[in-house]
Amino acid sequence: MQDINVVCDYTIFRLKSEDEYSCSNLKLQKLLYYIQAWHLAFYNEPLFDGKFQAWIHGPVNRDIYDRFKDSKSLYSEITKEDISNLNFDAILEEKKKHIDIVLETYAGLPGYELERMTHEEDPWVSARKGFTATQRCDVDIDEPLMAKYYKSRLKE
């Protein structure tokens, strides 16, 4: 299993290597969520360590939130300077391909659109059951449900 911080750094690197895509803190969280969700759907196992919680603005990994909380707001731009480690040798090539494919699909979307999408998908909705739209929630999003939900979307 990969370290979430290495996957995070690789994701930032891919988005910012040619400065092609914007990447807010919000957007980075959603991209990491989709990277994990689709890995669960395709391979029946998580790509990296770390769960996502069903926060108001969509799925959030607490470790990545804590990493940036003192220097970035929700809408702050993540830059190459935010990469803590440029050594991506720890990520297997097949895992890099998976990340790259997910980024090809989602990186062109703004963070607010990714947030809207997650709000319409069963894993986040299920984890937020019983919470109002503005109520704090730190319930983990169920990974087996993520795998099942995104697998079902493969058939569409």
Q: Predicted confidence band at 19 (pLDDT cuts at 50, 70, 90)?
A: confident
Helix-, strand-, coil-residue percentages of the chain, each rounded to 5: 55, 5, 40
Q: What is the Cα–Cα distance from 55 to 140, expressed in whole angstroms?
A: 9
Q: Which domain holds residue 140?
A: 4-154
pLDDT band at 156 (very low <50, low <70, confident <90, very high): low
Residue range 123-151: mean pLDDT, rounded: 96
Instruction: Measure the CA angle with vertex 137, ends 132 and 141; round to 5°.
Output: 110
Q: For residue 18, what pLDDT band results from cuts at 50, 70 and 90?
A: confident
What is the distance between the alpha carbons of residues 133 and 146, in angstroms, rounded to a whole number? 21
Does an H or E element contain 31, and which? helix 25-43
What is the band of 120 on the pLDDT scale with cuts at 50, 70, 90?
very high
* Average pLDDT over every residue of 127-138: 95
Q: Tell if the pTM clears 0.75, that is, is over it.
A: yes
**For the chain, how many structural domains are there in total?**
1
DSSP state of 70: T
